[in-house]
Amino acid sequence: MFARFQTKEEHSEFTDGLLKAMKMREEIAKLQVYQQMGFTTDQQIAAYETAKQDRLNSLNPNIQNNPNKRPISNISDPTDDSNMKYYNQLMGGETTTTTTSSSSTAQIGSETSLSTASSLVSPQESSLCAKLNLPPSAFLQLKTSLISEAVNKGFVKSGSVGKIGRVRVNVSEEQEKQVFEFCLTAGWINTN
């Protein structure tokens, strides 16, 4: 249809532009996925892709290196758990695997290191979370509630902990008391 209103050269230039725009959109989408994974340099992306290709080759040595000849079922999502484990290795982070041990402290420790909120808590807070079997996100919500209440009123009563924390976070009274004591000893809140 466009050929009727354009010369052959104009139509060829138009279709080349469409193909170029489509390829650019695909490249932008790939870069956005890498950005979500936390990559900031081309070297990190290249290292990740190399490790990913090595994993694919080790899974099935008969697969050729050409990605167009691989079956779709063998191409994995870059943000799935197995790829994130290798990403953490590449970035120098610790690899965490969930174990079936009966020790709840070890399991909570591995969950604490995996969660996003764990990067926002100090080592002392992280050990408190592990001891209380409390996710770091719940700890942070409770801590934020306590501190904001202390800022608004100037003080926090130990009996008001349940009114503050349980509205947003589903935690036990004992966990709330321990977090309250931790915030009190850290000097973040005042009881007077």
Tokens 């399991």 locate to 107
pTM value > 0.85: no
Question: C-alpha angle 126/79/169, rounded to 5°?
Answer: 40
Average of per-residue pLDDT across 161-170 = 54
Give tens-digit pLDDT for 38-57. 888 889 889 988 988 888 88
What is the enclosing helix (H) or strand (E) of 152? Answer: helix 136-153
Contact 156, 191 (CB under 8 A): yes
Give tens-digit pLDDT for 98-115. 444 444 444 444 444 444
* CATH 3.40.190.10 matches 104-186: no
Residue 176 or 12, more confident: 12
- Residue 99: the pLDDT is 41
pLDDT of 141 above 70: yes
Tokens 């290292």 locate to 47
- Residue 123: the pLDDT is 82
- Boundaries of CATH 1.10.10.10 in the chain? 104-186
Q: What is the rounded CA–CA span in Å between residue 8 and residue 14?
A: 10
**Residue type, position 183, single letter:** C
- Residue 61: the pLDDT is 59
